[in-house]
């Protein structure tokens, strides 16, 4: 579950594949480090969950009108 992994303090990603082709530590560290490891399948999917949300645009000031 990527929502759980993204909030973890520390992730240990085993791989690089499953079964006989796995079993080694691909990367260990905070989620931000996992997404930087190119051999990590977990990191490839996790990076989409760690993207910072778009910041709201600054409010547009209303134009002042003069009456007279």
Confidence of residue 54 (pLDDT cuts 50, 70, 90): low
Chain centre distance of CA 9: 13
Q: Give the phi and the psi of residue 14 in degrees, each rounded to 5.
A: -100, 150
Span 8-25, mean pLDDT? 96
State the pTM of this model. Answer: 0.70
Residue with tokens 């989409």, as numbered in its chain: 48
Rounded CA separation 24/16 (Å):
7
- 38 within some domain: yes
DSSP letter for 36, please.
T
Whether 56 maps to a domain, the answer reads no
**Residue 59 forms part of a structural domain:** no
Cβ-contact 50, 35 below 8 angstroms: yes
Number of domains in the chain: 1
Domain of 25, in residue numbers: 2-50
């Amino acid at each position: 579950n990527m929502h759980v992994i993204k909030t973890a303090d520390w992730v240990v990603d085993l791989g690089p594949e499953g079964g006989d082709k796995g079993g080694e530590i691909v990367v260990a560290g905070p989620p931000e480090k996992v997404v930087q490891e190119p051999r990590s399948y977990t990191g490839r999917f996790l990076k989409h969950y760690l993207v910072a949300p778009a910041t709201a645009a600054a409010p547009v000031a209303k134009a002042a009108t003069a009456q007279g």
